[in-house]
Structures are given as C-alpha cells and as structure tokens.
Amino acid sequence: MDRSADFNGIVLVILSFLSLNLGDLFSKLLVRQGQSVYEIILYNNSVVLVAILIYAFVKKESLIPVNLKLSIIRGLIAFIAGVSFYTGLSITPLTELIPVTLLSPIVGIFLARIFLNEIFSPWIWFWGFIALIGALLASNITFAFSLGIIFGLVTAVGNAVVAIMVKMMPKEGVLSMTTVLVTVGILLVIPIVFFQETFSAPIPLNLINGFCILGFLIFNILAYKIVRRASTLPIYQYSLLIFAGIIGTTFLEETITLLALTGMVLILISGIFTAKVAND
C-alpha cells in the first residue's frame, strides 16, 4: 500500500467520527426522552444488522467469519464499551464525556506496540501525557472522577481494543466482523430490554441514530483495512472534539468553559504531534 491508501484511510476515519458524533447527538436526545441505554443499543445494532443482511443478499457475499472466537470477543468488548458510553452520556454533558473517551487513541498506540509490534518514538509517551492532562481539563477536572467520567474511561479502553483487534484479523471481512459485533450486542441486550424495559422513544429518531452508527462502523473498519500502520489512525479521533463542541453548544445547549477549551486545545496539539511522530 502507498501513501494514497494512508490518505484515504484518514479521510474514512474522520468521516466515521463525524457520523459517530451525529449519533451521539441523537442518543443524547433519546435519553432525554427517557429511552434506556439498552434500547438505544438494540435499535442501533438492529439497523446495522438489517442493512448488512440486505447488502449481503444483494451482493451474494458470505457473512461467515473466518475467526469466530476473536470476532465474538471483539463483540463482547464493543458491547461493554457501548453500554459504558451511553450510560455516561445519560448523566454527563457530551462536551465533557467526549474528551475522556479521547484517551482511546493513546491506549490504541500502546496496544498496537504490544500486540502488533509497531514501533513508536519515546515522544509518544510525552504527548500521551499531555493528552491525559487535556482530557482532565476538558472534562472539568473538578469532576474528573465522577461516575460519568469513569464510564468514559471504560469506553476509551474498550474502543481502543476493538479498533486494534481489526488488525489482528487480517483475513476477516468487513461484513463478517460487523455482523458478529452487532449480533453479539443484540443477543446480550434482548433479555434486558424485553424483561426489564419498555420502548419509549420515537422510531424515526432511533432509525436515524442507527444509520449514524452504521456509517461509523463501516468507515472505521475500511480505514483500518487499507492503511499501513494501525497506530496512526486513532489519532484522528481527536476530530471528535471539534464535532462534539459544535454539536453540544449548538443543539444541546451545553457550555464550554475556558478550562475545558484549554483542555481541548492541549488534546488537539497532542494529537497533531503524536500523528507526526507516529508517521516519522
């Protein structure tokens, strides 16, 4: 693969995060209307699964995974990360939660070094520390260890593991990986939804939210499939800061303090220099 593949991967991953942030907006609106975290996951995963089944039927593509065990493990980790994120979103402003989840790229770099043997400069440690400080500031350091922020930290680690596992399954197809991931989530959440919850939010809003998640998954997996170095892509997750700031202040009536803005700037600077170091 050449540099054009890396560029295409960067574009795809940024598009995936834009789609994800739009999903965050709709998810926040849904929880404000009283919809449970598990209902959101059920709707999202169901939309994704139906879309995949239709596409596979039309294109006559197989959805049988090559590595079922790793795919299921990846699905379990994604489910835990999803529950943690939506739970945090239900009790924490989007503009405070997103910066904490952005520790995921730093975790992803270290995981790529450990499990994929990718080499990175010692400067990564320095910029990783700067990103950590920025995340604490951006999430309002006074409440850095609130329950919502803890859920954000769990999400960050889970997302990093899910992303890196794509490279651990080089022979796995995009459709089969995504199918197993969403199916695992559906199977886990169905008992909770139907025995403990009631459906409470409008279907159109859930469908829009689901298609946002579908876009995120497909763009993200395709990006990891075409780039040469998996450790470089998580850095572009920092684009979520810009999207979250715009969405939170414009549509959710959230405010960004000077302290939080300082933290976001630190995270952006860290992301830029980490990307530069990772590509050297």
- Please report which confidence band the pLDDT of residue 144 belongs to, taking 50, 70 and 90 as the band edges: very low
Tens of pLDDT, residues 13-58: 888 888 988 999 999 988 888 888 998 999 999 999 999 999 899 9
Higher pLDDT pick, 43 / 220: 43
| 78-82, 134-138, 149-153: range with highest mean pLDDT | 78-82
- Phi and psi based region of residue 256 (left: phi greater than 0; alpha: psi -120 to 50; beta: remaining): beta
- Give residue 6's pLDDT: 66
Q: How far apart are CA 193 and CA 188, in angstroms?
A: 10
Average pLDDT of the chain? 80
- Give residue 45's pLDDT: 93
Q: Is 50 exceeded by the pLDDT of residue 1?
A: no
Mean pLDDT value of segment 7-16:
79
Q: How far apart are CA 64 and CA 173, in angstroms?
A: 9
Mean pLDDT value of segment 249-274:
78
- Please report which confidence band the pLDDT of residue 233 belongs to, taking 50, 70 and 90 as the band edges: low
pTM above 0.85, yes or no: no
Tens of pLDDT, residues 84-141: 999 999 888 888 888 778 777 677 777 777 777 766 667 777 777 777 777 777 666 5
133: which residues sit within 8 A by CB, 6+ positions away? 263, 266
Q: Which two tokens stand for residue 3?
A: 């540099």
- Give residue 74's pLDDT: 93
Q: How far apart are CA 180 and CA 144, in angstroms?
A: 34
**Percent of all residues in the chain with a pLDDT value above 70, rounded to a whole number:** 81
- Give residue 98's pLDDT: 83
Q: Is 70 exceeded by the pLDDT of residue 244?
A: yes
